[in-house]
């Protein structure tokens, strides 16, 4: 099996970490696979999908009282198709940082504060019906990892934290003018079972092939998740985007989850408004049930449907889900999925 440089680095670092007795480390992973029946409203088929399965190593080293060095190297693993060369592995959240009384600072490649608003309010993350089918559709991309990123997170003060994430250039290679730098920021309140999130992001763009300036992509998100009691949870997200390639567009959604013994029953609805093109709006509904055997293993079944207007081509199995079909304008895709998630 061939491995790319990121996977090889994980294997190289493990024996080094193991002899560093002052450091705490752990090897972790997640295997998430599913059997899906995907229908793009023209044809359909049975698919086997690996959904953001991953392998990583985390290190924490207290160098002095109140000051820790943190490091993580994580890779995506596409476990359903075997070795397909360099595509078998792909980079996920990887960084090195310092955490102390003044907060946390990290450098590397990892989720933005904007992306975490969606991940913390999405009841179907990495499954069919993932909220990114709608909020990251129509040319919008607010669910990304910044390349060349530096991130600061404040200490918790009055149940609130502040995050600021800057990319010197959100592309590979070096830069002389930082023309494609980016910034993502958020404020989070977390107390008494309630999480409230507000995020803003700006992604500056390089000039086009003719040398003309391209407007920066901009987005605003508001999210909330509330654990009402041991049985019920609700969530909601609203998003406003400007100057993305599909035009200015608003999207919103909400979800609910009910715990019935060892089962979690969830539903969520998301809608995207029109962009610059008329009749480019869409709606998505997802329903699911998940059975947790313990903290490591769970199995689930989910169904999702997307209703596209005449000029819309939003998906139903995009986002962190591994397999998807191509959607043509006005098609109404659907998916039925049975999956298992094992954490180690």
Determine which of 87-101, 153-167, 254-268 has the lowest per-residue pLDDT on average: 87-101
Question: Which domains does the chain show, CATH number per domain?
Answer: 5-343 (2.40.160.10)
Compute how many other C-beta atoms are within 10 angstroms of the C-beta atom of residue 314: 26
Give the distance, in angstroms, between the CA of residue 259 and the centroid of all CA atoms in the same chain: 24
Determine which of 7-11, 148-152, 220-224, 328-332 has the lowest per-residue pLDDT on average: 7-11
Determine which of 17-21, 289-293, 323-327, 339-343 has the lowest per-residue pLDDT on average: 17-21
Compute how many other C-beta atoms are within 10 angstroms of the C-beta atom of residue 52: 19
Average pLDDT over residues 317-321: 95
When pLDDT is cut at 50, 70 and 90, the band that residue 183 belongs to is very high
Give pTM, 2 decimals.
Answer: 0.90
Instruction: Decide which of 299 and 171 is more confident.
Output: 299
Q: From CA 158, how far away is CA 278, in angstroms rounded?
A: 45
Average pLDDT over residues 188-195: 98
Q: What is the pLDDT of residues 50-76, one digit of tens each?
A: 999 999 999 999 999 999 999 999 999
What is the end-to-end Cα distance of the chain in Å, rounded?
Answer: 22
Query: Is 21's pLDDT higher than 70?
Result: no
Query: Is 340's pLDDT higher than 50?
Result: yes
Query: Is 17's pLDDT higher than 80?
Result: no
Q: What's the pLDDT at 247?
A: 87
Q: What's the pLDDT at 2?
A: 47
Q: What's the pLDDT at 207?
A: 85
Q: With helix as H, strand as E and coil as C, how does the chain read?
A: CCCCHHHHHHHHHHHHHHCCCCEEEEEEEEEEEEEEEEECCCCEEEEEEECCCEEEEEEEEEEECCEEEEEEEEEEECCCCCCCHHHHEEECCEEEEEEECCEEEEEEEEECHHHHHHHCCCCCCCCCCCCHHHHCCCCCCCCCEEEEEEEEECCCECCEEEEEEEECCCCCCCCCCCCCCEEEEEEEEEECCEEEEEEEEEECCCCCCCCCCCCCEEEEEEEEEEECCCCEEEEEEEEEEECCCCCCEEEEEEEEEEEECCEEEEEEEEEECCCCCCCCCEEEEEEEEEEECCCCEEEEEEEEEEEECCCCCCCCCCCCCCCCCCCCCCCCCEEEEEEEEEEC
Q: What's the pLDDT at 11?
A: 56
Q: What's the pLDDT at 31?
A: 98
When pLDDT is cut at 50, 70 and 90, the band that residue 19 belongs to is very low
When pLDDT is cut at 50, 70 and 90, the band that residue 1 belongs to is very low
Query: Is 338's pLDDT higher than 60?
Result: yes
Q: What is the pLDDT of residues 62-120, one digit of tens each?
A: 999 999 999 999 999 999 987 666 567 889 999 999 999 999 999 999 999 999 999 99
21 Cβ neighbours under 8 A, 6+ residues apart? none
Query: Is 303's pLDDT higher than 80?
Result: yes
When pLDDT is cut at 50, 70 and 90, the band that residue 236 belongs to is very high
- Name the average pLDDT for the chain: 92
Query: Is 163's pLDDT higher than 50?
Result: yes
Q: What's the pLDDT at 81?
A: 87
Instruction: Decide which of 251 and 211 is more confident.
Output: 251
CA of 258: how far to CAs of 270, 289, 337, in Å?
Answer: 19, 9, 20
């Amino acid at each position: 099996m061939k491995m790319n440089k990121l996977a090889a680095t994980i294997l190289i670092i493990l024996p080094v970490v193991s002899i560093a007795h002052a450091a705490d480390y752990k090897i972790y992973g997640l295997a998430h696979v599913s059997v899906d029946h995907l229908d793009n409203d023209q044809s359909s088929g049975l698919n086997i999908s690996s959904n953001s399965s991953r392998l990583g190593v985390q290190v924490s080293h207290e160098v002095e009282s109140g000051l820790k060095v943190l490091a993580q190297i994580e890779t995506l693993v596409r476990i359903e198709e075997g070795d397909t060369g360099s595509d078998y592995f792909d980079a996920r959240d990887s960084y090195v940082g310092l955490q102390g009384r003044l907060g946390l600072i990290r450098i590397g490649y990892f989720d933005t504060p904007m992306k975490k608003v969606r991940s913390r309010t999405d009841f179907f993350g990495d499954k069919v019906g993932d909220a990114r089918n709608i909020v990251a559709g129509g040319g919008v991309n607010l669910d990304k990892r910044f390349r060349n990123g530096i991130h600061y997170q404040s200490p918790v003060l009055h149940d609130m934290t502040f995050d600021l994430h800057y990319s010197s250039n959100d592309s590979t290679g070096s830069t002389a003018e930082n023309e494609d730098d980016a910034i993502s920021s958020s404020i989070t309140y977390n107390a008494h079972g309630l999480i409230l999130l507000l995020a803003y992001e700006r992604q500056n763009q390089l000039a086009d092939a003719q040398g003309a300036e391209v407007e920066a992509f901009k987005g605003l998100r508001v999210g909330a998740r509330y654990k009402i009691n041991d049985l019920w949870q609700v969530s909601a997200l609203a998003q406003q985007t400007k100057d993305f390639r599909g035009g200015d567009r608003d999207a919103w959604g909400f979800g609910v989850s009910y715990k019935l013994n060892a089962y979690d029953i969830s539903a969520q609805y998301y809608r995207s408004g029109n962009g610059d093109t008329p009749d480019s709006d869409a709606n998505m509904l997802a329903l699911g049930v998940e059975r947790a055997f313990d903290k490591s293993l769970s199995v689930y079944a989910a169904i999702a449907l997307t209703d596209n207007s005449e000029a819309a081509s939003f998906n139903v199995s995009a986002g962190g889900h591994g397999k998807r079909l191509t959607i043509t304008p006005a098609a109404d895709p659907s998916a039925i999925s049975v999956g298992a998630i094992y954490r180690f």
